[in-house]
Amino acid sequence: MTETRLSSAMTYVTKFVLPIVGVAAGSIWVWLLWFHEDGWQLNRPSLGFRALFTALMLLSVSLSWVFTRQLKAVFLVEGGLRVSDFREEVFIPFEDIAEVRERKLSKHRDIRLVLRQPCRFGSRIRFIPYTQHFLLFGDHPVATLLRERAGLVAPSAS
């Protein structure tokens, strides 16, 4: 059996590049709000606005870090999944998957695998599956495949 990528090809960019770009852009805006004296044509933003913007920036960075640090790259291999966090990899047999959760209202429809026994990455694996358009409220094909392989549902007839 060949290896099949189940996670988005953009996982690396989402996990490492976008947070760095976001922090850099937000830091520039915060610096401009607090320290740039010459650029305000009409009047400088109030202290309350600057404090609120800075707090929202810190909250945004924190939430981004919490979400993106959990992301893994997931590949379907013979007998299970190869899961990588881009530094190390683990093999997870299908029998170790206790539950497959999918956030259907999320833009990325991220999938969370709940494991029967913890692995090096813990008892939950989170990844963004490859893009599938026009799903609306149906299950993502990756979630269905993983549920079938883990024996959580009966295999589909297709």
pLDDT digits (tens, 9 = 90+) for 113-137: 999 999 999 999 999 999 877 667 7
Residue bearing tokens 């981004």:
64
**Cα–Cα distance measured from residue 14 to residue 130, given in angstroms and rounded to the nearest whole number:** 13
Per-residue pLDDT of the chain (158 residues; tens, 9 = 90+): 689 999 999 999 999 999 999 999 989 988 888 887 766 666 778 889 889 999 999 999 899 888 899 999 999 999 999 999 999 999 999 999 999 999 877 777 899 999 999 999 999 999 999 987 766 777 888 999 999 999 887 766 65
Helices H / strands E in the chain, number of each: 4, 7
Give per-residue burial for 51-86: e unless 16+ CB within 10 Å, then b. eebeeebeeeeeebeeebebbbbbbbeeebbbbbbe
Contacts of residue 54, Cβ cutoff 8 Å, sequence gap at least 6? 30, 33, 34
Going by C-alpha positions, the residue among 97, 103, 107 that lies closest to residue 145 is 97
The SS3 call for residue 132 is coil
Give the global pTM.
0.81
